Amino acid sequence: MTETTARADAGSVHDLGAHRAAREAAASPVVSLVKEAPTTVGPVPGTAPAPAAPAAAPLRPVRVWVRGVRAARVAVTDERTQAAGRLAVRHGAYVVAGGGIAARRVWDARSTARYERMMRTAEAAGQHEAAADWEERAQRFRAARHQRRMDLLTAPQRAAKGAAVGTAATAGGLLALGAAVALAEGDPAATLVPLLATIEAIRWVVVIAMVVWGPALTAAPWLALLALWNLGRRRQAAPAWALPAHQRSAEGEPITPSVVVQALRNLGVAALRNAIKDMGDAGAGMLGPIVIAGCGVEVDVTLPSGVSTDEVQNRRRKLAENLTRHEHEVFVTIPEAARTVRLWIADSGALDEPIGPSPLVTDPTASGDYKGGRAPWGQDLRGDAALVSLYQRHMLITGLSNQGKTASLRALALWLALDPTVEFRIGDLKGVGDWKPFEGIATVLIEGPTDDHVAQVVDVLEEGVAEMERRIMAPAGMKFPPLILLVDEAQVAFMCPALSQDDRPLDEKGKPIGAVDKRPLGGTKATSRYFQAARKIHNQGRAVDVLLWQGTQDPTDQNLPKLVREGAHIRASLVLGTESQARMALGDKAVDGGAAPHKLRQGLDKGTVVVAGDGVKLAPGQSATTIRTHYINDEEADQIAERAKALRDGVTTLHAVEAGEERDHLADIAHVVGDAAKLLTQDVLKRLTALSGGVYGDWSHVDLKRALDGTGAEPYKSDGRMNVSRERLHRALANRPEPDSTSALG
């Protein structure tokens, strides 16, 4: 504190003290017993004039105002003040709402408003017979009401006549009773005893009524307020923020028709609120039956005229909060019926519970069936098994990083691996070992994120295109085994800027023959080799069972072109960041129909996928469904893979695709046969194509036989089918005069 400030504060204290002393002196004058000296007007001679006393400074009103505001703010923000405010608002709202409910009931009882609401509700739901029935009831009510009003016109006359007759009859009866008593006792005066007793009883009734009337009249308004308060309390007719804490708990409450109607009424849609208000208690007429559906309930809501399904769908979070649920626990979809939304409401916390292991893990006898079977992928929200048909269907699965994309895709591949007729060629552009279980199952397994790995994956896809074209050009009626070309982390391929390597053959002078291939490996343009291969397979591969499965992260137009993502028959998405990404992953139709992967919780909904397209069983009118997939860990995947390998005959997995033109055919054939004692010639041709599509892509059985003629390892027939023997191939290699080989053997 500076010296100037200290002086100022001291001066202020002195001024306040002087001001207080002056006020006290004015309020109570001092009486002195000592004679006072005469007062002099001028200064005392020989002394210096005294300095004038400073004027008293007034109190600063600004500081007082600021302190008052601070005190008021503290009082208002105090928890006790807020609790008292909520209490007052809640109970006041109970009384007001109770009065409204009572007035509505009285109005309904005295008019045809109830019947008219019922008719409007039935007409909105298309129930014309019910509407006609309510109209007939309204006519009967009007007739009865008219009769009552006509009776009121003659009521005074009937009342007067009835009172006179009743009085005369009562008096006559009492006199007759008195006469009987007088005759029995022999006293004529006893004739009036019953009549006088009745008059005395009436007098006491009047006295008691006069005593009770005052307190009853005083208590009547309070009793009426209490009745209205109780009526409003039972309906919980108060703002949600003013309700008691236990009624605003996040634990949720049972879903009943009244709860759903109240949640819709408070949704913030004026037309919906007014329509429900007009319907009164018949607001539940909008609802279909509430049925148990898995770990929650499901109900169809027929919206009133003037309310669109988008208005409800876009307020999913508020609807969930009105139902005392979290946003991820309420799903709004659009069924076939017009102006109808389907609500699926989970039990509180149910979606955070695991769904259990995959049948592939629990059932060691489980098998795959490419053509007629369905893969057990998980459970839908109703708790039913989610089965996926993979027959002749391209697949795309996408989502944010570390949300279970690879595990979900691998679960389907493991089931299909249990069908020994299916061949896999896999490109894992992450390269961290997620697809190691397919060693010995896949004929090609490329693992790594570099440009060289992308080039290898592009070669795999282009050889898949060559195989597809060979199958298309084959004679009609030929059957081919399914070929799955699987690329995980496909965005790495699309985003790869590298150009094709210069693999041109050299002439005798060492100069390349032909023009260099300057096409980029990735990209979204027509010059992209990966893009072109994917598009060709999407266009024609399905017809000859050459299928492309892709997994990619964070879809955008740059890392997942529109033409490629729309070529997939099954499109699945885990949690995404935005609605625009959801539209890229699943398509506009699915998102407009209620699919919302961007509403899933990152980190908490791992393995939950929203699936659209063909191959997945959908409810009528639905364009997408939500599946909680089974999680198969690495150890379980290895066990399933071992069962799949036991169904196959020694598959040799290649980790690179050779592009050289000069090949050692005998060594290559021995290499692809691998450890199998014998191998069908058609499987040998298939593996040779995977080894080098440029050399063996056009080979037929005749070419294979020509290559082995004279070696002692010629194809032979066993069980009616042509095979190649591993032992004969190795004997032929050992007996060759030239031991060295240009093959990639070993």
Helices (H), 613-680: 634-646, 665-673
Tokens of 158: 């009937």
494 in helix, strand or coil? helix
Q: How far is CA 144 from the centre of its chain?
A: 52
Which residue, among 101, 189, 714, 284, has the nearest Cα to 276 in the 3D structure?
A: 284
567 in helix, strand or coil? coil
Q: Is 399 annotated as a binding residue?
A: yes
CA–CA gap between residue 216 and residue 726 (Å, rounded): 110
CA–CA gap between residue 412 and residue 432 (Å, rounded): 19
Tokens of 71: 């005190």
Q: Is 343 annotated as a binding residue?
A: no
Residue 543 is given by DSSP the state G
Q: Is 318 annotated as a binding residue?
A: no
Tokens of 148: 């009552």
Where is 423: in which H helix or E strand?
Answer: strand 423-428
Answer yes or no: are the C-beta atoms of 711 and 724 closer than 8 Å.
no
CA–CA gap between residue 390 and residue 373 (Å, rounded): 8
Residue 487 is given by DSSP the state E
Q: Is 405 annotated as a binding residue?
A: yes
Residue 330 is given by DSSP the state E
CA–CA gap between residue 225 and residue 233 (Å, rounded): 12
CA–CA gap between residue 691 and residue 671 (Å, rounded): 9
Kindly state the greatest CA–CA separation across the chain: 163
Q: Is 100 annotated as a binding residue?
A: no
Torsion (CA) 705, 706, 709, 712 in degrees, nearest 10: -40
Question: Which residue do the tokens 């390597």 mark?
Answer: 501
Q: Is 406 annotated as a binding residue?
A: yes
The number of beta carbons lying within 10 Å of the beta carbon of residue 431 is 17
Q: What type of residue sits at position 572?
A: A
Q: Is 587 annotated as a binding residue?
A: no
Which class for 257: exposed (0-12), middle (13-18), buried (19 or more C-beta within 10 A)? middle
Q: Is 162 annotated as a binding residue?
A: no
What's the residue count for the chain? 746
Helices (H), 418-549: 451-473, 490-494, 529-540
CA–CA gap between residue 77 and residue 85 (Å, rounded): 11
**What is the Cβ-side half-sphere exposure of residue 616, based on CA atoms within 13 angstroms?**
27
Question: Which residue do the tokens 């050779």 mark?
Answer: 658
Annotated binding site for ATP: 399-406
